[in-house]
Amino acid sequence: MSAMQVSQPMTDAEADQLCINTIRTLSMDAVQQAKSGHPGTPMALAPLVFTIWNRVMRFDPQDPIWPNRDRFVLSNGHASMLLWSVLHLTKTQAVNADYERLGAPSVTLDDIRRFRQLDCKAPGHPEYHWVSGVETTTGPLGQGVATSVGMAVGQKWLANRYNRPGFELFDYNIYAVCGDGCMMEGIASEAASLAAHLGLDNLCWVYDNNHITIEGNTRIAFTEDVATRFLGYGWNVLRVGDANDIERIEHALRVFGKTKGRPTFVILDSHIGYGSPHKQDTAEAHGEPLGDEEIRLAKRSYGWPENEKFLVPGGVYEHFAAGVGLRGAKARQEWTKLFGSYRDTYPELATEVDQMQRRELPAGWDQNLPVFPADSKGMAGREASGKVLNVLARNIPWFLGGSADLGPSNKTLLTYEGAGDFQADTPGGKNLHFGIREHAMGATVNGLSLSKLRAFGATFFIFSDYLRPTIRLSALMELPTIFVFTHDAMGDGEDGPTHQPVEQLASLRAIPGLVTLRPADANEVVEAYRYVVQLRHKPAVLALSRQPLPTLDRSKYAPASGVVHGAYILADPPGGNPEVILIASGSEVSLAVNAHEILVAEGIRSRVVSMPSWDIFDHETQQYRDSVLPPNVKARVAVEQASTFGWERYVGTSGHVIGMKTFGASAPLKELQRKFGFEPDRVVAAAKEQLGRA
């Protein structure tokens, strides 16, 4: 179409093409202006994204968080200009963290002009929370598609619990677009396998089969038969041989809509950098600006005014308004009306939906949380955790989760009457069985959190490494996902160093915004959960012991409610005024208490600080922190069965840290404790040394 025709009356087909070319040219111009970014894939996938959004998706740009909207996930997040273009052209509105509509566009043309610049709403990759209309943060390849599986599980669960005859409250679909990179990443394989097992027919992935990645043609590294692979998983596999054929694309999406009992995988053959005479089908089109001259040539091939930049021709906004805009508004209005009468008929259920959407907890969420009596034999952290999880899952209808095949070991099985298993034919179950797919588990629980459910995922602490990228993303997205990790130190002795976490605590503590908690006894486990469940915008990791830990006598020592401060004074010498401070977490707290008793008996004024969470403590006031760790008390010993890395911040450069400087070893726990110095005598000796009384 020539520039002249732009303002003329158009046929629908012309308007479609105009919209598609607007997405293409905005993307090219933005990347060129930023001198960085990925133009080629938006040029190729503009017809796909146009078709999904303007012809199929049920999404109201006026309310991008309407609960029954279809979800769109751009798993090949480097092609973010696709999303910024379509959010802009549909005039999607901004909402804030309190879920209020701001009466302003989510992405302006100015944002697109400032693509990839500080504070603009068109960042390098899609960022949930930062730009309204982004359903999940993507960029680490494979994460988007895997997270979409959690969204699909979430929809199934919501539909099962809240839909009633005549009230289809939740019947939305999830569309994810991905590229070769996503297909190569292991997480996508785990997630695809799980999705097919669970029969998630609300899930559609479209694979941009362009044979190009950064290093060149995929023949250098990726020659498998992807279609056969997905057939093997049990997906419905479709193929569209021409990424410019929007009728065929629409047809495939309609087939997806009718496919029952399995997810749909659409292989879309495309040409990266479509329309660029010298860059099409090359790796250069992937991640480099095209250059001014090449942009002119590409625009010429689209029939676009060659020298116009950031042009949105007349009719484009209108065509989106008449497509997704009208369809979405109508769907949302109908839904809002439906939900109104649902509220009259099922007030309790409607209240649940409201609370969930705002990440609030139902009344009575903490009733019946256990209190454990003092017991020197005690209880394992995982054991106490299992009891708490079962109470919480009962009290909070939308609290659910599971383990990567370690449920009996993690003690995460929800065993109360009616908890049930989540399977294709029982989508109301609250026990998720992720199989041995830790990475997909992390993405799935994130997808559930994005769907406003409260979800937990569990495995051994050592295998947190297998899902670490998803933990990081939950923190980046500010999602209240809960990660339950048991066997948190050397407690599984005989399994040896492959199973003994050393550096995991330090590395998780380094993730901004993540709350890591390592409770000391059964009552600290309860308090840790009490804290975590109330978080609305932060993920949490619970590191729990395999072996029994003494349940501390809270009439003698401070109450476990101190957990809420991250660290608290557990024990002080008679009359207070400590001269040495012992700081510990988890299983080492009772060890510190034993050492403290010995020291006090010898007339040494020691204090024990239980420090389940650095992160929480660091957010306390200076005054509180100084009251727990008085700056003038320099004699300090930290004890933790983990890497010593970072403990200087609490013990100072002159303090002593009893921790791990090597990997562990295979032996009974008692022997390991002796070998690595986790015994009261060693703590006592270190304290005396600190005081110069060794």
Ligand X SMILES: Cc1ncc(C[n+]2csc(CCOP(=O)(O)OP(=O)(O)O)c2C)c(N)n1
Name which of 123 and 179 has its Cβ closer to Mg ion.
179
CA distances to 35, 110, 138 from 38, in Å? 10, 19, 14
Name which of 139 and 566 has its Cβ closer to ligand X.
139
Residue 321 gets which letter from DSSP? Answer: I
Q: Is 169 left (phi over 0), alpha (psi -120 to 50) or beta?
A: alpha
> Cα torsion for 299, 303, 305, 309, to the nearest 10°?
-40
CB proximity list for 511: less than 8 A, separation 6 or greater: 471, 472, 475
Closest contact distance (angstroms) between CB of 76 and Mg ion is: 8
Mode of pairing for the β-strands spanning 375-380 and 548-551: antiparallel
Name which of 273 and 586 has its Cβ closer to Mg ion.
273
Interacting partner of 682 out of ligand X, Mg ion, none (Cβ under 5 to 8 A depending on kind) = none
Interacting partner of 83 out of Mg ion, ligand X, none (Cβ under 5 to 8 A depending on kind) = none
Interacting partner of 41 out of Mg ion, ligand X, none (Cβ under 5 to 8 A depending on kind) = ligand X
Interacting partner of 286 out of Mg ion, ligand X, none (Cβ under 5 to 8 A depending on kind) = ligand X
How far apart CA 375 and CA 380 sit, in angstroms, is: 12
Name which of 83 and 687 has its Cβ closer to ligand X.
83
Closest contact distance (angstroms) between CB of 52 and Mg ion is: 18
Active site residues: 438
Out of 41, 90, 189, 486, name the contact with ligand X by CB under 6 A.
Answer: 41
CA distances to 155, 512, 574, 590, 693 from 601, in Å? 60, 41, 10, 17, 15
Out of 60, 111, 127, 180, name the contact with Mg ion by CB under 5 A.
Answer: 180
Name which of 177 and 331 has its Cβ closer to ligand X.
177
Name which of 180 and 284 has its Cβ closer to Mg ion.
180
Out of 85, 173, 189, 210, name the contact with Mg ion by CB under 5 A.
Answer: 210
- Of 95-103, 212-220, 292-300, 643-651: span binding ligand X (CB under 6 A): 212-220
Interacting partner of 76 out of ligand X, Mg ion, none (Cβ under 5 to 8 A depending on kind) = ligand X
Closest contact distance (angstroms) between CB of 163 and Mg ion is: 38
Name which of 180 and 640 has its Cβ closer to Mg ion.
180
- Of 188-196, 204-212, 441-449, 553-561: span binding ligand X (CB under 6 A): 204-212
Assess 214 for contact with ligand X (CB under 6 A).
yes
Assess 439 for contact with ligand X (CB under 6 A).
no
Within 280-299, the residues that bind ligand X by CB under 6 A are: 286
- Of 211-219, 452-460, 510-518, 634-642: span binding ligand X (CB under 6 A): 211-219
Mode of pairing for the β-strands spanning 101-105 and 93-95: antiparallel
How far apart CA 549 and CA 571 sit, in angstroms, is: 17
Closest contact distance (angstroms) between CB of 613 and ligand X is: 29
Closest contact distance (angstroms) between CB of 150 and Mg ion is: 24
Name which of 79 and 432 has its Cβ closer to ligand X.
79
Assess 144 for contact with ligand X (CB under 6 A).
no
Closest contact distance (angstroms) between CB of 142 and ligand X is: 6
Please state the φ and ψ torsions of residue 297, each to the nearest 5 degrees.
Answer: -65, -40
DSSP bridge partners of 540: 482, 515
Assess 181 for contact with ligand X (CB under 6 A).
yes
How far apart CA 394 and CA 249 sit, in angstroms, is: 44
Please state the φ and ψ torsions of residue 656, each to the nearest 5 degrees.
Answer: -120, 140
Assess 270 for contact with Mg ion (CB under 5 A).
no
Assess 284 for contact with Mg ion (CB under 5 A).
no
How far apart CA 332 and CA 323 sit, in angstroms, is: 14
Out of 24, 58, 71, 78, name the contact with ligand X by CB under 6 A.
Answer: 78
The token duo for 372 is 């454990």
How far apart CA 410 and CA 628 sit, in angstroms, is: 32
Interacting partner of 214 out of Mg ion, ligand X, none (Cβ under 5 to 8 A depending on kind) = ligand X
The token duo for 343 is 């509220």
Assess 212 for contact with ligand X (CB under 6 A).
yes
Assess 179 for contact with Mg ion (CB under 5 A).
yes
Assess 185 for contact with Mg ion (CB under 5 A).
no
Q: In one letter, which amino acid is 445?
A: V
Residue 261 gets which letter from DSSP? Answer: S
Closest contact distance (angstroms) between CB of 147 and ligand X is: 13
Assess 180 for contact with ligand X (CB under 6 A).
yes
How far apart CA 222 and CA 181 sit, in angstroms, is: 10
Interacting partner of 78 out of ligand X, Mg ion, none (Cβ under 5 to 8 A depending on kind) = ligand X
The H or E element spanning position 233 is: helix 226-233
CB proximity list for 412: less than 8 A, separation 6 or greater: 385, 386, 389, 401, 402, 403, 406, 456, 458, 484
Closest contact distance (angstroms) between CB of 577 and ligand X is: 53
Assess 140 for contact with ligand X (CB under 6 A).
yes
Name which of 45 and 194 has its Cβ closer to ligand X.
45
| Closest by Cα among 407, 405, 373 to 389 | 407
Interacting partner of 190 out of ligand X, Mg ion, none (Cβ under 5 to 8 A depending on kind) = none
Closest contact distance (angstroms) between CB of 212 and Mg ion is: 5
How far apart CA 361 and CA 51 sit, in angstroms, is: 38
Assess 139 for contact with ligand X (CB under 6 A).
yes
Interacting partner of 136 out of ligand X, Mg ion, none (Cβ under 5 to 8 A depending on kind) = none
CB proximity list for 688: less than 8 A, separation 6 or greater: 599, 604, 694
Out of 32, 33, 54, 76, name the contact with ligand X by CB under 6 A.
Answer: 76
Query: Residue count at the site for ligand X (CB under 6 A)?
Result: 19
How far apart CA 561 and CA 25 sit, in angstroms, is: 58
Q: In one letter, which amino acid is 647?
A: W
Assess 71 for contact with ligand X (CB under 6 A).
no
Assess 454 for contact with ligand X (CB under 6 A).
no
Assess 273 for contact with ligand X (CB under 6 A).
no
Q: What is the largest CA-CA distance in the chain?
A: 94
Assess 137 for contact with ligand X (CB under 6 A).
no
- Which alpha helices (DSSP H) does 534-618 contain, by range? 588-601, 614-618
Closest contact distance (angstroms) between CB of 183 and Mg ion is: 9
Name which of 133 and 469 has its Cβ closer to ligand X.
469
| Residue 17: Cβ-neighbour burial (10 angstroms; 0-12, 13-18, 19+) | buried
What is the number of alpha carbons within 13 Å of residue 529 lying toward its C-beta?
A: 30
Residue numbers at the binding site for ligand X (CB under 6 A): 41, 76, 78-79, 139-141, 179-182, 185, 208, 210, 212-214, 272, 286
Residue numbers at the binding site for Mg ion (CB under 5 A): 179-180, 210, 212
